[in-house]
Amino acid sequence: MIKTTSFSVLFLVCALLGCSTENNTNIEINAPGEGTPVLKGTIGYSAMSLKNPFFVVISGSLAAAAKENGYEVITTDADSDVNRQANQIENFISLGVAAIVLNPTDRLAIGPAIKKANEAGIPVFTCDLQCVAKDVEIAGHIGTDNYQGGELAGQAMIEVLGEEGGDILVLDFKQANSCVLRVAGFKKVLETYNQSVESGKITIVSEINGGGDEDIGYKATVDSLQAHTNLRGIFAINDPSALGAWQAIDEADKTGVISIIGFDGALAGKQAIRAGKIYADPIQFPKKMGVEIMKKFLAYQSGSEYKKIELIPTSLYRQADALEDAELQSGE
């Protein structure tokens, strides 16, 4: 859906971004309304996947912060496809946007596309997910302290399994640097714990790609349940894959045997924690991410000093927190 007050803007965007069923790219322009500052420019945002509510929240907060400061945002959906995201970056360059914000779909493979933006003189900011490709310039990053979040996930797994311990599955997503860090923090806590006990150790018997996606997480868990019949726990690197895992263990009638630790704290994840489907989540703050990345862009524009890399600590969210959560009680 495209929102605009000018037919000429609609024509330009469609011409450059290819508004057709062939490229299957979702585009949304959030144009300033009456009483907002004069339009200063456009920011291109390539979301990793708008199927994930987490990135929808980032998109909304970025658009709102941009609007308050006289910018409009073009949001596109990379749908977890690095080639699609690279094309979107090239389209943003053609548009002459003031800045590009993205959640890299692949922490390394997106590098060449970012380098093209660097060569065009367009600042690139990353949000939530970092790019670790060599020879690229990232003007700023706002994200979660994912390693710390992984440590909290490990503590939650120890808490829920108790003295018995047991075999566990990790649903990872190695294309995203943030998810690599989550698993690293998780493993570190379990390693330390296992060294401190003689029995009841927690053993990762399989680490498999959950795609950061509910359907992929479901299929990966179905396969893992067949290969590992004694699973006691699952750590999923985000809420969608955690929800997919829950569907698989529910169908296998093992919801009372296998506990799930997720990550994110999106609305669906919080609701699942309240319902007892997921034990706990280290929660992130996506609304803050959109606002803070806009602040970094404005500082960049003005030549002011700013912290280029900012990591927001997570907090552990359990069922007791969900039962007191005003957001869930109000049904929002």
| Domain shared by 158 and 126, yes or no | no
- DSSP letter at 164 equals G
Q: What is the dihedral sign for C-alpha 84, 90, 94, 98? A: positive
Assess contact for 129 and 237: CB atoms under 8 A: no
Total of domains in the chain: 2
pTM of structure: 0.76
For residue 234, give the nearest of 215, 211, 272, 262 by alpha carbon: 262
Q: Which structural domain range is residue 132 located in?
A: 7-138
Helix axes 267-274, 239-251, angle to 10 degrees: 40
Q: Does residue 82 sit within a domain?
A: yes
Give the pLDDT of residue 80: 93
Asked if 180 and 116 sit in the same domain, the reply is: no
User: In this structure, is residue 221 part of a structural domain?
Assistant: yes
- The verdict on residue 261 lying in a domain is yes
Instruction: Answer for the pair 45, 76: CB distance below 8 angstroms, yes or no.
Output: yes
In a domain, 85, yes or no: yes
Looking at the fold, whether 35 and 93 belong to one and the same domain comes out as: yes
Same domain as 182, residue 118: no
B/e letters for 181-197, b = 16+ CB within 10 Å, e = fewer, are bbbebbbebbeebeeee
Position 21 scores a pLDDT of 32
Q: Are residues 160 and 60 in the same domain?
A: no
Residue 38 is predicted with a pLDDT of: 77
**Same domain? 249 vs 175:** yes
297 in a domain, yes or no?
no
Left, alpha or beta for 18 (phi > 0: left; psi -120 to 50: alpha)?
Answer: left
Cα distance between residue 155 and residue 44, in whole Å: 38
Residue 129 and residue 154 in one domain: no
Are 263 and 121 part of one and the same domain?
Answer: no
Number of H helices, E strands in the chain: 12, 13
CA atoms within 13 A on the CB side of 33: 3
User: Which of 92, 117, 138 is a domain's end point?
Assistant: 138
pLDDT at 9: 39
Same domain, 92 and 184: no
Take residue 202 and report the two structure tokens written for it.
Answer: 């927690």
Residue ending a domain, among 115, 138, 161, is 138
268 and 224 together in one domain: yes
Residues 6 or more apart in contact with residue 17 via CB below 8 angstroms: 25, 27, 74, 76, 88, 91, 95
Q: What is the pLDDT of residue 332?
A: 45
Digit-by-digit pLDDT tens for the chain (332 residues) are 333 333 333 334 433 443 333 333 333 434 444 455 679 999 999 999 999 889 999 999 999 999 999 999 999 999 999 999 999 999 999 999 999 999 999 989 999 999 999 999 999 999 988 999 999 999 999 999 999 999 999 999 999 999 999 999 999 999 888 899 999 999 999 999 999 999 999 999 999 999 999 999 999 999 999 999 999 999 999 999 999 999 999 999 999 999 999 999 989 999 999 999 999 999 999 999 999 999 999 999 999 999 999 999 999 999 999 999 998 886 54
**Is position 310 within any domain?**
no
Residue 27 to residues 129, 135, 257, Cα–Cα distance (Å): 21, 29, 43
The three-class DSSP label of residue 233 is strand
One domain, residues 32 and 65: yes
Give residue 176's pLDDT. 86
CATH number at residue 54: 3.40.50.2300
- How confident is the model at residue 37, as a pLDDT? 60
- 257 domain residue, yes or no: yes
Assess if residue 290 is contained within a domain.
Answer: no
74, 103 in Cβ contact below 8 A? Answer: no
Domain-terminating residue out of 76, 106, 138: 138
Same domain? For 219 and 277 the reply is yes
